[in-house]
Each structure stands twice: as C-alpha cells, then as structure tokens.
Chain A
C-alpha cells in the first residue's frame, strides 16, 4: 500500500483545525456550565426525528443527567482537542454528540432551522464540524503538537498509511 507523507505544513493546518474545534467545544461547554438556567430540554422536546427517544431524554428523571453529560462531554472533548491528548477518543465522542444534535434538528427543507444564522439544506454546521472531526481521526496531529508529544514520542505520526 502506498504511504503518504504528511508534511509539516499539513500537520500545522491539522493542528489549527483541531484547536479551533476544541476551542468551540470548550467555549460552548463553559457557557452552559456557568449558566444555571441552561437546559437542553427545549431542544430535545422539539426534536423532529426520533421524537420518542429525545422526549425520553427530556423527561424529568433524565434531563439532569443529559444536561450534565452534555456539559462534561463538551468540556472534555474541547480540552482534549486543544491540549492534544486522547485525540481519537475525543474525536469519536465529539462526532457522536454532533450527530445527536443533528438528528434532533436535521437541516431538511421542511425544517424550521430555528436559531440558524445561515441557510442550510441537509448539510449544516453540525455536520461539517463532525466531518472535520472525522478528518482529525484519520490524520491525528497530537503527536506533532500537543501533550501526546510526551506520551508517544516513539510513535510520531509524521506519516500515515492511506
């Protein structure tokens, strides 16, 4: 199989992408953490697909767990991506979270897209961010720039197999 060298320039770009996404996750998590009135209830209860599942998540017995889990995952994924540690696990969690957001309010033509500042059909920012995370999964950069440098010095992925 052909091996492709990932140049330093490419790794730098991937690092920037990783930190930007991490920044976004962390900031969203922090704002929710500091806002005592925040809850995902409204978002869940107005879901357009899998309404039974999202309604269950929004019930009184579940919503506390769901809200806390959401905040913890956002902060954990954000921190991991910025620091460059446990990158692939963080990426998988991040994609799962984004796909859950997307499935509740997909960008179908018939969807109201409440709160969206642009125009989207099928592809929206949640989906693009999930796709960008998928790129990070394939081309991790933490060993180039991040705490992974210490953990996996011997396994620097200057090249990956495609």
Chain B
C-alpha cells in the first residue's frame, strides 16, 4: 500500500472506519453503570440490615491424650456418628468410592477424608445385634485403635478404657443409658429425643446436673452456618414481631417412612432380644420391631420425637423461646397402613402467648406466637420453614432468605422509595450457590435442606455432625458447655412428649412454667399414655 493511497481517505471512509468506537464506549458505560448501581443498592440494603453471615470461631483445641469413646448402638445412626468422629467402616469407604466414580458430584467420601482428625479412639462397642458389633470390630480394630465388644451397655460404661459414650440406640434406651453413664461420670452424647417419657426427662436432667461429665444432645444443625446467621437476624429484629412459624416434614420414600432394610443375618441367635426390649412392653421376637422400631410408640416417638424434635430445636436455637404453654396435635396413619402405631401425617400447634422477638410498632401491640409443625410421610413437596414477622419473612434451611413484608412498619420508607420490593428477597445467604452436591436419596435431600447433614466453613463442605461432636469433645477437653446442653435437651424432650401426648390423648396438653411441670389431667397418667404401644389412648 502506497503512502499516496493512504492519504486519499474520504470523510465517508473515515466515518465508516471509526463509527464502531462510540458504540464500544456506550456498552462499557452501560455495563459499568448497571453494575455500579446494583452494587450500590445492595450495599445500602445490606448496610441497613447489617446481617453478619460469619462462621463462629472453631471449638477449642483437640490436642492432648486421645479421648477414648465407647459406642452404644452401631446401627444406621451409630455408623454415621463414627464417621463424623473419623471412623468409617471398610464397606462404606468402598461403596462411596464407587459412587463417586459413577457420580463425580457425590462428595461424601471426599468430605470424610478431608475431615479434621479429632484425636479420639473408639475403644468399645455395644450392640445387641452380632452383625453390627462385629462390623465395628472388623472395621475399627488396628494397632493404633484397640476396640473391644461389650454384650451389655452397663459393662461398657464401667469399662476403665472408656472416657465418653455415644448413644445411638432406639429412643426407649436413651435415658437409662445416659443416666447410667452420667452417674459413672462418663461424658455423654445422646441422640434425639433425649428421653422417651416425661419421668425420665426429669431424671436425666438431675443426673446431668449432679455429674461432672459433659452432656450433649445430637441436634447437629446447631452448627449450621445459616442457623447462626438466623440468630443474628433475630437479634437485630429484622423480621419484626414474629407471630407465626411454620416448620414441616415432607417425605415420601421408604427410608423416610422408617421402612429400613432387615439384615439377612438377623435371627433370635444373633440378636439379644431381651436387652433390646429393655423397659418396653414385652413382645415375642420380631424382626420388624427390631429394625423398624421407629414405627412403634414402645421404642420410638413417632413424628413428634423423631422429627418434630429436630424442627423444634432448629427454631429454639434461633429464638430461645423455650417450652410452649400448650400443644395441640392431630393426624393419623394415612399413607403407611402397615401395622405401625405412630402417625404418618401429623400436625402440632405449639402456643407461646407470652413470647416476643421484638417489634417495630407501638409497645404493647404485639405479643405471642404460634409454632405450627406439619408433617407427612406421603408427599415430599419441599415446604420450607418460615418465620413470619410483621416486617419480613425468613425462609430457613441450609440457606437463608429474607423477604420484606408489604405491611412492614420498619421498611415502610424503603418500600415507598422503591429500594425494597415487598415479597422479593432483601437478603440471601446460600453457601451452596456455587456448589452442587450429588445426593443419594430423597431423605438425604430432606436432611440436607434442613441443615442437618452438612454446612460450610471457609467455603468447604463439612459434616455438621462432625462439628457438633467436635464441640462436645472440646468442652470435655477445654471446658465449656455444648450448644445443645441439658437445658436445650430438656426443652426439646418436654415439647416432643407434649406433642406426642396430645396426639395420643386427643386433647390439649398444657405446661406450667412456674412449677416446670405439665398441667395434670384428672385420671390420666401421662407416661402410661405416652408409652402405651397403641396408636391412641382414649
């Protein structure tokens, strides 16, 4: 190209050459303006709300001599607790490795392998079923970890090589075992509900008070980041006065309805049936009762003790509202008429007439709250837990979302100025937004949504049970009180039993906060009614 030709640009050519440049400028301006404006609005909103989604400092040091743990009950939950402590059965590791190969999104093995070493040994196991106990021996016995089987829980508790026990048995054994361990000054981590009837709830409370051992109840969601964030939301009174809370159980699969598998090796010779029965009404050997014990009031607590207990404690750890003044329950066996006597559709209305989370309107206008727990084992549409306040609604699970309310007093100005849109999100905390997890079943998803399976620390997925056990171990080693201590356990157990009693008796159950007792009903023995192995007591 010659110099001469270059100099022959016409004005038209120049325009056609450079006309695109202003367009690039326009797009840059548009993009920058939009993002800046959005960031500014978000910043203003977050500043106004000032919610802190910060993880708590980890519980104390795990150094020192290894703590020696005895595991009582090595069934489904016992195995999960051992994994959270860092001990997985050989068969589980193999299964998960294969599952991760098929589905790269399945992170269960990865989460387990990345778990912190809690510096514990599992030195003892007690399970009334030989196959379970032998599984623990075969998987955990090594040069660094010597484990011994005890045929009776009392012997395990008394064993000098046991410092602390995990209790993951059917519900009717929780309190007798926990009380025996506390009396022997052995630390206790017991699964929920912590008791099976009213009388032993008080006995366990006394035993915990008199013992120097550390006591914790297995409500692991207390470690979930979203619940800690929710506590900050309540403290800052962002929702205004909460008048209604709804919490739900939505399940629709065999596992979720407690139709667990029956082990092929199970027979009267491999199961210590008498020890399984314990203080429950005697029944002849029955494999269904043994493996699917949650379906009968004699050993389990139905939806009230099994799942309402979780949902109640999820709310209680955020609001600290204590025991309801009354509970009315209803429901029935509507979708699993398979011989069970606990309901599979269940609703409980829990009243807290004197409770307030704080308000934004004139003093004295707002007081009192209802917690509605609604459960079905025949449908798994994901109804969320909702905390409904005058100013906003909080949707709470593994994630947390807040929606401004149209009638809000606190946010009236922001709504009028268009800074907040009623009904749309004003705050959202979702640790999983950039993480997709492989799920193994509908029930797993149900638990994960409720913050019961795992949470996130520094962007890494952590088993919430692992954190909960860590907190208990830290209290044993360094002092302190676990987040789900005997007080929280007592409130959870009493509330669950009130709900169960109300269902069985078909009437309202009242709580007297002054005497710290259930209000008696003439002619009714509450524990007799609760333990009766029938659907309803009329």
Contacts and interface: CB of A to CB of B under 8 A. Distances in A.
A26 B6 CA distance: 31
A42 B433 contact: yes
Contacts of A153: 1, 5-6, 13
Given A34-B31, A45-B105, A46-B436, A83 B16 contact: no
A146 B16 contact: yes
Nearest to B12: A149
Q: Which 3 A-B pairs have the closest CB atoms?
A: A30-B31, A34-B35, A149-B17
Nearest to A51: B104
Interface residues of A, number: 32
Interface in A135-162: 144-150, 153-154
A46 B20 CA distance: 37
B16 A52 contact: no
Contact of A144 (B16, B23, B24, B105): B16
B168 to A, nearest CB: 34
Contacts of B105: 45
Interface string A48-91: 00011001000000000000000000000011001110000000
Contacts of B436: 42, 45-46
A148 B20 CA distance: 11
A147 B20 contact: yes
B35 A35 contact: yes
A87 to B, nearest CB: 11
Contacts of A147: 17-18, 20
B440 interface: no
Interface in B412-461: 433-436
Contact of A19 (B6, B16, B23, B104): B23
Contact of B20 (A19, A35, A52, A154): A19
Given A23-B27, A26-B27, A146-B16, A39 B36 contact: no
Interface of B: 1, 5-6, 9, 13, 16-21, 23-24, 27-28, 30-32, 34-36, 39, 104-105, 433-436
A27 B25 CA distance: 11
19 contacts: A19-B20, A30-B27, A30-B30, A34-B32, A34-B35, A34-B39, A35-B35, A45-B105, A45-B436, A46-B436, A55-B104, A82-B23, A83-B21, A84-B17, A145-B16, A145-B19, A150-B9, A150-B17, A153-B5
Which secondary structure dominates where chain A touches chain B?
helix
A35 B332 CA distance: 52
Nearest to A18: B20
B104 A52 contact: yes
A145 to B, nearest CB: 5
Which secondary structure dominates where chain B touches chain A?
helix
Contacts of A46: 436
B23 A27 contact: no
B90 to A, nearest CB: 27
Nearest to A156: B13
A56 B36 CA distance: 32
Contacts of B21: 83
Given A19-B20, A23-B27, A45 B435 contact: yes
A146 B20 contact: yes
Nearest to B23: A82
Nearest to A55: B104
Given A31-B35, A55-B104, A26 B19 contact: no
A31 B34 contact: yes
B513 to A, nearest CB: 47
A144 B21 CA distance: 15
Of B6, B9, B17, most buried by chain A (CB within 10 Å of CB) is B17
A144 B20 CA distance: 12
Contact of B1 (A31, A45, A83, A154): A154
Contacts of B23: 19, 23, 82
Contacts of A149: 13, 16-17
B32 A30 contact: yes
A52 B101 CA distance: 11
A95 B20 CA distance: 21
Contacts of B32: 30, 34
A55 B416 CA distance: 45
B111 to A, nearest CB: 15
A24 to B, nearest CB: 9
Contacts of B13: 149, 153
Nearest to A45: B436
A83 B436 CA distance: 39
A7 B23 CA distance: 24
Nearest to A144: B16
